[in-house]
Amino acid sequence: MKPVWIVDDDQSIRWVLEKALQRENMPYRSFTNPQDVLDAFDNKEEPQVLISDIRMPRGNGIDLLQQVKAEHPHVPVIIMTAYSDLDSAVSSFQGGAFEYITKPFDIAKSIELIRRAVDESLRLQNQTQEGAVRMQETTEILGQAPAMQDVFRAIGRLSPSNVTVLITGESGTGKELVARALHKHSPRAGGPFIALNTAAIPKDLLESELFGHERGAFTGAQTMRRGRFEQAEGGTLFLDEIGDMPSDLQTRLLRVLCDGQFYRVGGHQPVKVNVRIIAATHQDLEERVKQGLFREDLFHRLNVIRLRLPALRERPEDVPLLVKHFLLHSANELGVDPKQPTPAALKYLSSMSWSGNVRQLENVCHWLTVMAPGQNIDVADLPPELKEDSAKPLTSSSWQEALASEVMNALNRGEQNILETRANEFEKILITKALQHTGGRRIEAATQLGMGRNTLTRKIQELNIEE
């Protein structure tokens, strides 16, 4: 193991800690000021744990903490001070301190704290190495579910092609990630990837955003500007939420797709471009065509290859994988230790419907990284709204989806005899509602349900249905 570094201008404090570490057979090294510590880091030396005073000559312990955590986030830092004030404590923990202790301190407790910090350092070091390997091995998109494997196979088949692709799926399913993957593995990988959310740009600015404008084309156009089509020359232009594109721009887009050229706003010379189009939408474009909101000829131009992304509720087996990935990613971004979900928490998260799909799950993982009190995440640590949502009646676009979700929840809870109990509940609901509809008239209810009157009577008795 690497040595424990002690930095304190008080010789007596250093001596006490040195003797305690010596008795525990733990290597150590002492410094009198923060600058010497930073010099040691510059010489490629590194401690297993750093113990630092706050107030010292030639530097400040809080400043040292911030520098160390910025450049060496895996090194636990224990802050110690004789001044037990709120500001010091808050500054320590905000800076990423492993722990905060006040002088005079109990030697036995201090050694135990150092041991915990050493264990944490070794664990984090191993985890960081494993995480780096995983991040290198991981592709842009994660998924083991059969539906995602179909997506991966489609990307593989499309990799040598420049064909136009239409990506469909609910918001938050990762359509832009798929578009980036298609670009990365295509012959255009060396060219630019330009993304534009057509729903996020005001209608009066979208034309200029797509096609650019000439100087003086409108008030405020002080210089000529290249649009996204020109910026994507030789590469890929990703048009997200294409279903929301205004009808007049649909016409211009169709013309570009047909002959590969366009005019800048206020321009008179055609601009020729070589761009691959990948479009995406969460809407039903066929329905929008029927409603007259989307051009049919443009739809067919875009719908050369359609790639549907499954909703997260359709791939619950991927939730644990995604949770661990997002927790690691959030921890790396924030410079903190990755949180570890318990099996119960993973099971609970896998049972949820996730209306916001992968984006919602990523946000939850970021929330947990910041707000969860401990390193291990249990069901009780989840955001309150998740537990509230699970208690609400399930609302889905169809009763089949609601049933599928209910069955998945039951499977995740480890229930038995799921078929029998759900079948009885299903029959009970049908008969109860039918009797309510007919005002209790069994013959009419039986006819509408498609069963005999005697069968209906027997079911009422077996299922204990109150009339």
**Is 257 found in the same domain as 379?**
no
User: In this structure, are residues 51 and 17 in contact, taking their beta carbons and an 8 Å threshold?
Assistant: yes
Contacts of 85 (CB under 8 A, 6+ apart): none
**Is 52 found in the same domain as 110?**
yes
Q: What domain range is 286 assigned to?
A: 149-310
Q: Taking each helix axis as running N to C, give the angle between helix 61-71 and helix 34-42, from 0 to 180 degrees, rounded to the nearest 10.
A: 20
User: In this structure, are residues 218 and 260 in contact, taking their beta carbons and an 8 Å threshold?
Assistant: no
Q: Kindly provide the b/e burial profile for residues 42-51, where b requires at least 16 CB atoms within 10 angstroms of the residue's own CB.
A: eeeeebbbbb
**Is 296 found in the same domain as 206?**
yes
**Is 77 found in the same domain as 24?**
yes
**Is 86 found in the same domain as 31?**
yes
Q: Does residue 399 lie within any of the structural domains?
A: no
Q: Does residue 184 lie within any of the structural domains?
A: yes
Q: Which pair of tokens denotes residue 34?
A: 């923060």
**Is 251 found in the same domain as 330?**
no
Q: For Cα atoms 13, 15, 17, give the angle at the middle one, nearest 5 degrees.
A: 70
pLDDT tens for 1-42 read 889 999 988 888 889 999 999 998 999 999 998 888 888 988
Single out the residue in 287, 310, 333 at which a domain terminates.
310
**Is 387 found in the same domain as 333?**
yes
Single out the residue in 285, 310, 335 at which a domain terminates.
310
Q: Does residue 143 lie within any of the structural domains?
A: no
Which CATH number is 335's domain given? 1.10.8.60
pLDDT tens for 115-141 read 888 888 887 666 544 444 343 333 457
**Is 297 found in the same domain as 218?**
yes
**Is 367 found in the same domain as 453?**
no
**Is 302 found in the same domain as 187?**
yes
**Is 239 found in the same domain as 288?**
yes
Which CATH number is 157's domain given? 3.40.50.300
User: pTM of the entire structure?
Assistant: 0.57
pLDDT at 391: 47
**Block residue for tokens 């600058």:** 35
Q: Does residue 74 lie within any of the structural domains?
A: yes
pLDDT tens for 57-115 read 777 888 888 888 888 888 888 988 776 555 666 666 667 788 878 777 788 888 888 98
**Is 258 found in the same domain as 109?**
no
Alpha-carbon span 56 to 53, nearest angstrom: 7
Residues of the chain with pLDDT under 70: 83-94, 124-140, 388-398, 409, 412-414, 467
How many domains, the chain?
Answer: 4
